[in-house]
Structure 1
């Protein structure tokens, strides 16, 4: 079964998100910090009278912090459990078709990537890691809580 995928770059790596889970692709101009928020929450922003919790995807993967320049930051807007989030990404490239279903990954990816990996999906752009949006939103604390249990 083919799925539409949004091809994005996170921490310099090309990955795929299910396009059906994406509401919009935007450029964020304003970011309001949130005191005492989890480290992977970059802040809050607004889009068409909606408040968006902005997720620093790089920090969610424990790969450092996204460097913000003076210009707008590209983000993917999603609705998860009734809340709107903007996932900060390096770039948004294209919408493409998958070729078949995701397959298991047979390589070590690193703890952050392994936590959000849904599988490897074939596309005309080559094989891509299919990313779990809920895992990006949850951040690295999800892994730490599971390890403590």
Structure 2
């Protein structure tokens, strides 16, 4: 398997996102709040003349959000169902090559992590949890569809 993976930190955990699903990695400095939006929608931002819905990955996992007011936010930009999203992560670390396909996770995980997991993937730096971007964008109220 030669899939490239973007390695990011979410809630202090190193995880992998398929690099093919990421358009760019950006720093956001302005968020426009969206009244009545789902709890995991942090707001809206503009990037190269397009509007991005900004997703807080921590809140999507059902975790507490860090206080990030008045700061620069690191985000991975993706497209899901024709809409552009910026996924706020704690940090972007590296791009690695997968040396195996995803295998089922053999450990207990919280509901949020279980919902967004596509399995474990092996890299030259060890095993990482592979994240399903669409499930992360869908948020904690999304019901996972059986494969």
Q: Report the TM-score, using the length of structure 1 for normalisation.
A: 0.94
Compute the displacement of 1:69 (Å): 4.1
Q: Work out the CA distance in 2 between the residues paired with 1:67 and 1:138.
A: 22
Task: Tell me how many residue pairs correspond in the alignment.
Answer: 145
Matched, 1:121 2:121: yes
CA contact (8 A) 1:116 1:132 kept: yes
Matched, 1:104 2:104: yes
Q: Work out the CA distance in 2 between the residues paired with 1:33 and 1:121.
A: 35
Compute the displacement of 1:97 (Å): 0.3
Unpaired runs of at least 5, structure 2: none
Runs of 4+ in 1 over 4 A off after TM superposition: none
Matched, 1:53 2:53: yes
Compute the displacement of 1:110 (Å): 0.8
User: In the alignment, which residue of structure 2 is the partner of 1:75?
Assistant: 75
Could you tell which deviates more after superposition, 22-31 or 66-75?
66-75
Q: Secondary structure at the match of 1:99?
A: coil
Counterparts of 1:1-149 in structure 2, within 5 Å, are 1-143=1-143
Q: Secondary structure at the match of 1:137?
A: helix
Unpaired runs of at least 5, structure 1: none
C-alpha offsets along residues 67-124 of structure 1, whole Å, 9 cap, x if unaligned? 2143210000001111000000000001110111011111111100000100100011
Q: Report the TM-score, using the length of structure 2 for normalisation.
A: 0.95
